[in-house]
Amino acid sequence: MNRDEMRLPHPAEKAEHFSEKSGVEINTSKLKRGVTRRRALKVLAAGAAGAAALQSTGCIDESETAPNTGAFGETTGRKPRAAGTSTDPNLITPVVPWDLVLTKEELETLAALCDVIIPGDARSPSASTVDAHGFIDEWVSAPYEGNQNDLVIVRGGLVWLGVESTNRFGRRFVEIGPNEKAEICDDICYEPNAAPEFKVAARFFDKVRDLTSTAFWTTDEGMADLGFVGNRPMPSFEGPPPEVLRLLRLI
């Protein structure tokens, strides 16, 4: 058998698991409003160093965490010391065994971005209301290689977002209004259409959108929003109701 026989991943999910090779590579050329490449490099490097310092307070040994490739390396060079789930975890009452690494400020910015991606409406709350940013923290804190690569993408992107917001509007991303946030996000929301200087930020945005999406739609609120009606025992399986068959022109 294979993975598809067991459950139904979204087509993109396969890519999620099998091609996690991209390290951070924030393209800083031609940043708007006169930010030089040199300055942007400096900002991002500081972010990466901050990340290392932070992790030393977690369960990753400090001596292992010095970034050896600077801000633009292909990988972080970290050797995660934290434990994963193990190959034989308790499946009935699961626990997340690793410490979370994002800072309070990073989480605030992330929460704001999650809500730009999935805002609240009449049917369901916003992404941050159901702790989507908390899930992203869990994701990027995990010790697996793909997750560690995502940590760099997310952290680097959050720094970029702060710099971009400050340069454009003189305030941090969490402080600007909806129209200002949209002005930035419109530039990075779709890589194929993004200007060359926004391509890498667009990849960051896509990563956060994917993770926010997973986080939101897997909550009780998200599943209710979609109208998912399964995962409960039923005495029989009747197939699709007549209304569905009519809409599909099968009757």
Partner 1 sequence: MAAYVLACHGVRVLMLEAGRDYDPVSETPMFQLPREAPLRGAATDDKPFGFYDATVDGGWRVPGEPYTSADGVNFMWWRSRMLGGRTNHWGRISLRMGPYDFKPYSRDGHGFDWPMTYKDMAPWYDKTEAFVGVYGSNEGLENTPDSSPGILQPPPAPRAYELLTQKACKGLDIPTVPAHLAILTERQDADRLSKFLWPNNPLAQRVTRESMQDRAACYWATPCGRGCSIKANFQSPTVCLPPALATGNLTIVTNAMVREVMIDRKGRATGVHYIDKETRTDQEARADVVILAASACESARILLNSKSSLFMDGLANNSGLVGKYLMDTVGAGVSGQIPALENLPRHPEEGASALHMYMPWWLYDQELDFARGYHIEFGGGQRMPGFGAFSGIEPLTEGAYGQKFKEECRRYYGSFMYFDGRGEMIPNEDCYCEIDPDVVDEWGIPVLKFHWKWSDHEIHQARHMHQTFAEIFEAMGGRVLSNVETDGARAILAPGQIIHEVGCTRMGDDPSHSVVNQYCQSWDVPNLFVMDGGPFVSNADKNPTLSIMAIAWRSSEYLVEQLRHRSFR
Site for partner 1 in 98-127 (CB under 8 A): 116-119, 121, 124
Among 179, 208, 203, 174, smallest CA distance to 190 is for 203
179 binds partner 1 (CB under 8 A): no
232 binds partner 1 (CB under 8 A): yes
Three-state DSSP state, 23: coil
Q: Which is nearer to partner 1, 34 or 95 (CB)?
A: 95
96 binds partner 1 (CB under 8 A): yes
User: Minimum Å distance from CB 232 to partner 1?
Assistant: 6
Q: Which is nearer to partner 1, 8 or 104 (CB)?
A: 8
Give the x-and-dash track for 186-225 against partner 1 (CB under 8 A).
---xxx-x--------x--xx--xx--xxx-xxxx-xx-x
21 binds partner 1 (CB under 8 A): no
Q: What angle do CA 39, 41, 42 make, to 5 degrees?
A: 65
Q: Which is nearer to partner 1, 101 or 215 (CB)?
A: 215
User: Minimum Å distance from CB 108 to partner 1?
Assistant: 19
Q: Which phi-psi region, left, alpha or beta, contains residue 30 (left: φ > 0; alpha: ψ -120 to 50)? A: left
Amino acid type, 4: D
The beta strand positions in the chain, using DSSP E, are none
Contact set for partner 1, span 63-92 (CB under 8 A): 84-89, 91-92
183 binds partner 1 (CB under 8 A): no
- Token pair, residue 4, equals 């598809």
What is the spatial distance between Cα 118 and Cα 212, in angstroms, rounded to a whole number?
Answer: 8
Structural contact between residues 44 and 71, judged by C-beta atoms closer than 8 angstroms = yes
